[in-house]
Amino acid sequence: MKQGLILRIAYAVLICLVWVSCKKSVITPPAIHMDYFPVDVGHWVEYEMDSTVYDAFFNGKDTSYHYYIREEITETFTDLEGHKAYRIQRSRRDSLGMPWQITDIWYANRDEHTGERVEENVRYVNLVFPPDKKVRWDGNALNTRPKWEFRYEKIHSPADLGAIHFDSTVTVLQIDEANLIEQQYAQEIYAKGVGLVYRKQHYLETEVDGTIIGGYDFTFKVINWGK
């Protein structure tokens, strides 16, 4: 009888050891952080936009613009490649008191590998998941434009845009090139749960002495969002 008791205890200990061993072998998959690129229907973001067009040859002057943009995900659909897509309705107004006017429709795709936006029928690979500062990718790989090697400058970093604070953002440097007659720069910032919160682009054509003869510069940053 004592021997049977010992066997039962030994068996129970063995079961516990096996359970602990199995528990230790469970590997938690790494977080992908797709919430930097939210695609919930009803999600909207509003931006303040400032831009300057440099036109020394034709108009002989620079022209500046200031207005507001609203992007809202209004529905899902299946795109021509059979993938789930998200319709982005874009609206514009010139001042805060004016009604929104729909200007165009863009759309987005997101899976566990990438977050992509189709803007004016041009597809960009804006983010890759999970964010990693060692990763490089061609943001223009799915369109006919020249190769731009995107990379993460910052990941999971706090950021302040004006009076708005974000606890966790990723910053993507899209291009930063310059020579004696051209300058080209593009950067985007995405915040968790919000999406794109900042975009900066400029392309300048210059004389050798640095005089600007053409190009553009625009910045837009988030001012509000919700669902």
State the Cα–Cα distance between residues 210 and 178, nearest whole angstrom: 11
pTM of the model: 0.86
Query: What sign has the CA pseudo-torsion 149, 153, 158, 159?
Result: negative
Task: Say what the pLDDT of residue 18 is.
Answer: 47
pLDDT tens-digit map of 148-170: 999 999 999 999 999 999 999 99
Given a cut of 70, whether residue 14 has pLDDT beyond it is no
pLDDT tens profile 117-143: 999 999 999 999 999 999 999 999 999
Please state, in angstroms and rounded to a whole number, the distance separating the CA atoms of residues 227 and 223. 14
Residues 6+ apart with CB under 8 A from 8: none
pLDDT in tens, 33-90: 999 999 999 999 999 999 999 886 656 678 999 999 999 999 999 999 999 999 999 9
Does residue 12 sit in helix, strand or coil? helix
